[in-house]
A = this chain, B = another copy of it.
Amino acid sequence: MTTAQHLAELWPGERPEAARRLLSAAVESFAKRGFHATTTRDIATQAGMSPAALYIHYPSKASLLAEISRTGHAATLALVERAVAQAPEPREQMHRLVADFTAWHARGHTIGRIVNYELRALSEEDLAVVADLRRRIEDTVRQVIEAGIAQGTFSPTDTRTTARAVTGLGIDVARWYNERSTETPEELGERYGELVLRMLGAA
């Protein structure tokens, strides 16, 4: 899947074509220069539009960042919840969850970096929405670990630290993964899934 396809998946149909073009342009601009050094003019130019046309859809570059961050977090929460719903028990749930979460951050490394490393640039209100999504991701991971402990499958040394290591491993992939990486996102996901089962004492 290319970055363009990845983005198309994040911002499906109901959104006007121009809004989607602006979101993609904002992702590219923020990734290149960082949020603070990007102007709304940079984003409009990248999208082949005028600044005035941009303002019809988004009042500011901060509102673009907020939407990118919110949809990115919502997508990873959905993927984590899907892994739990579709696998029958904690061991498989965790393996699927880590594999999908890791592959998402490899495939969408550009957007993954913005979503995870530009949190400080969000307004207090936007950050609250994103923080809630992050909490739900962490909670889901922790619940799977607790279910595995109750069942006797997992024996972590510390549930909270392990839960954060699980999400941290996946998020960190966005930092270093690129198109020259030798592993596919899916291969990397499988391998990280195995590493996490080992961390939980369930390899």
A192 touches B165 (CB 8 A): yes
| Given A36-B34, A201-B203: A172 in contact with B161 (beta carbons within 8 A) | no
Expressed in whole angstroms, the Cα–Cα distance for A188 and B157 within the complex equals 12
- B168 and A172 form a contact (CB under 8 A): yes
B175 and A161 contact, CB distance less than 8 A: no
| Residue of A34, A169, A194 contacting most chain B CB atoms (<10 Å) | A34
Given A33-B37, A116-B175, A161-B183, 5 extra CB contacts under 8 A:
A33-B36, A157-B194, A165-B192, A168-B176, A198-B201
Q: Which of A166-203 contact B (CB under 8 A)?
A: 168-169, 171-173, 175-176, 183, 188, 191-192, 194-195, 198-199, 201, 203
Q: How far does the alpha carbon of A103 sit from the alpha carbon of B50 in the complex, in Å?
A: 48
A117 lies within 8 A of chain B by Cβ: yes
Query: A171 — which chain B residues lie within 8 A by C-beta?
Result: 172, 175
A151 shortest CB reach to chain B, Å: 19
A198 to B155, CA, bound (A): 11
